[in-house]
Structure 1
Amino acid sequence: ALPGNAISQALPGNAISLALPGNPSFPGSAWERHYRLQFEIADTGCGIAADELETIFQPFVQTQSGKQAQEGTGLGLVISKKFVELMGGKITVSSQIGKGSTFNFEIKVNVCEAKNLDEKQFHRPGFTLEHNQENYRILIVDDLPENRRLLFELLSEFGFDIREASNGIEAIEVWESWQPHLIWMDLRMPVMDGYAATKEIRNRENNQSGTGKDSKATAIVALTAISSENERAIAIESGCDDYLIKPFRPNDIFEAMNKYIGVPFVDEEPISKQDSTKNEVLALTREDLAVLPDDWLTSFYQATIEGDFDLMLELIDQIPSDCQFLANTLTNLTQNFEFEALINLTDTHKGEK
């Protein structure tokens, strides 16, 4: 992912998660002036208090409204700020309680002649389904319409039978009457959360099996903005088959559907070397990094938090040659600005929580 993409995802993501009825807006979108791009992103949320404006760009700091929304890790703005600075820019924010917030940033750009562009670099490999597949029933459960719409638009291209629910009670009702093959379950929702809804569905499935009814268990995958090993454990204990973090990659969705209900997605293009490298990156775990010294992990973690790109690469160069896979994979993550993934992988205190 390019840093510009990460910024444009993180800031609207904050706007959407904290906005009251209304929508985040992008006045003027972007315009070029003397080889700089200027952006303005505004939301109609509850706003940020003046005393909180001084700390919102610090790691793991969330505003009061952010804590109430119970979403995110407190890293989105930190990472956005570092990306902007890496591209020679600066980010600012203004806010009014009860009216919303506006973020402004500008970045340096180089103009490229159209004739020098390679069309292949902008083409994304697509996916399709094998022919003569059954009609898969998919239930999307999320209290935010924009989140449901995002997943609906991704999956509707494949002809799935899709229904939606905005809370746990609605999810149980749809499950009872419709028996979906798979449920994408948000965890934090009003009325009834995803944990309780999943438990209730599993209890009803157990009761059905006890009566001798021949029914296959519905796959339930948690899809949430909460990046926490503790939350993951609770979700799995509640009956979820898996736990994915928002924002998700389309490939994550496809892989889960293939794994849990056997949807046979087919890549329309052969797997390239870049795709193969991406798969290696996704396969990296905290256990893989356990071979590295704790002081190295602490230094790399701190450099990532501070967005010190040069120091991160210097530390990777210190990795022994017999751990070349780790070095290559960490380099890929660093060069693709996957800071949050790196933070999760190298936080030596995470397993103690």
Structure 2
Amino acid sequence: MRKSLFLFVLSLALIFTLLVALFFYGYKVHRTSAHRLLNATDTLMLENPGIHLMDSALFVLNDAESNFRLYTVMYNRQHLASFSSELGTVLSLVDSISHSFATSGPDAHFDSLIQQKQDISGRIGDLKKTTDAMLAGTLKNDLLERLLNGIRRYKVNQVKKEKVTMDTVNTAQPQAQVAKKGLFKRLGNALSNKKNSDTIKSQVKILVKTKDGRVIDKEKYDAEQLKNVVTGVNDYYKNMLRKQLANRLQINQQESALVTTNVAMMNEMKQLLISLRSFAEKQGREKKSMAHGIVAGSAQQMISIVWFGLIALLLCLAAIAGAAWFIRKNNRLLKQGKLLAEEQTRIRTDFLNNMSHEMRTPLNSVAGFTEQLTFTQLTGEQQRIVHSIETSTNMLIQVVNDVLDFSKLEQDYIPLTLQHFMPYQVFNEVADMMRIQAMKKHLEFNVSFEGDKNGQANGDVFRLKQIMLNLISNAVKYTDKGTITLSATLGPQDDKHWLFEMQVTDTGEGISAAAQQHLFERFYQTDSARRKGKGTGLGLAITKRLVTMQGGDISVSSEEDKGTTFVFRVPYERVEVPLMVSNNMKDVSEATGATMEGRYVLAADDQEMNLLLLKMILTRWKCRFDMATNGVSALELFRQYRYDLVLLDLQMPEMSGLEVIEAIRKDSDPEKAAVKVFALTGNINPEDEIRFKKAGFNGWLLKPFREKDIYKVIIESPGMSTK
């Protein structure tokens, strides 16, 4: 069953581990898929900025072409300046487009486009330089202004001077109407400084002798000179016009080359932009295709995770169903095992109770009759025999008590009976009791007590004595020579508690370190104890349980061949009220004579030996008594007579002790119903105590008992200490 349980638990652990791993794997895949889906969605939603840049570049390129055409028609330098600026803008946009595509990864077609773009950019740069030069030349040499500014004013002093000889011939003529002079004549007059006279009627004629010897009239000479001037002016301006026309022809040739280059560059640039746009569209389609693939793959992964999760859920359900079935099966087995264990416990308890009763009944007779023998006249030899019987009886009683106490401790059947007491007084009582045992073995017995000797505590006196007796008796038992030392202290643990500490030290054979680790285990015996056949191996286990039940602790230290020391500490509640201390019974016969004499007692027990022992005790107490061997006889005697005290054995034929006391407490006579009734039993547990109190017993006495034990129980009951 344990193997199957282990395998089942292992299977559940493996399934759980698998589920946890699957969960984390699914979570990781989910996060990765979600991230990829988001990126793919962004890719699908995002438009390629390069396409917008290319559209802008095409628009700007068209504007540049329009401005250039306007310039070739109108020769307006503003159109040429706009054309040059727009060429720079196109180059900048193309660079931006190239950079945006370059970040997307290497591509052979794109690399060829970039190389083509670089070539075109170089040529456009040259075109731009030419355009800028033309623009600068146009700004400096406007055609009309250049023609006008190129013609210098003709000056008179530019006429070549010729050395001539002039002579004046004065001819008188009648005044005649002066004819209107022409331009050249007036110019000639001006050159010759000739003055008109309206008053002089005579005419002066000037003759000019030229360098070559000719003599001609001054007017004719002037006409020749004027003709030469006009001819020079005409020749000068003709030459100037020829030069300007030649310059214009050169400019026209440059403009024609520029137009041809511009048209070619524009076409190439358009083709480049169109190619880039096609490349961008292709790249966008590829990205969208990849995004669609990512979406499809992520969706497939999600579906796979869902299927895996469904399978895992089914496995979990199957595992849970299997676990439920297995747990129900185990619960049934556990329930059966529990019932079997409870039945075995009940059988063991019944067996122990019966064994206790069966063993304690003869032990009660042996212990009681041995005690009664000590009150008779015995010879020395008889006293030694009686003492040996008493010692053996005590040892047998201790063994029976250990077995029964341990059984009760295992079942938590031993309650703590709290009462007020003085720890110093209890310590002295136990020390005085054990001193006799030590003296019998010729051991030195040292006792010391430190602390408050009048301190009062609230606790279980009987269990404290049991702890002390177990430890001291072990020290005496395993020490053949030397010293037994008892030391105790009582001091405040806090404001409300005492701490009682006791140390038992002997000079015995000691305990090995290996044995000390198991010393408080049940049924454990040291090698020395096994060799000597001493003890049951329960005494120290019971002692430790009793100490821990009261909130204390116990420890041991030992060296082989040097001795052993046991130390235990138990806290007790502090008590400040006056404590009633009963006198010790050093002589039972003297104490009972004054208290029990003349009392009428009913004793009921199915064992003749127990009745005989009670008869001897009651006779010594000078009591009147009746004896009954069963419950029916006891009840009949009770109804016939009025008794002061009733002693009932619990296990009697026909009517048990509980049934008898139930009838007594229901008697019609209140005084008889209130009689003191004590139970005699061979075993008792907490349930029995509750039943005894509920039934109406005034107290109980555990077999085997001695005379002083029954006397103590009787006189401690209220109303029984006085006659």
TM-score bin, normalised by smaller chain: 0.3 to 0.5
Q: Per residue, is there more helix in 1 or in 2? A: 2
TM-score (norm 1): 0.39
Structure 1 or 2, whichever has the larger Rg, is: 2
TM-score (norm 2): 0.21
Relative contact order (C-alpha < 8 Å, sep 6+): which is higher? 1
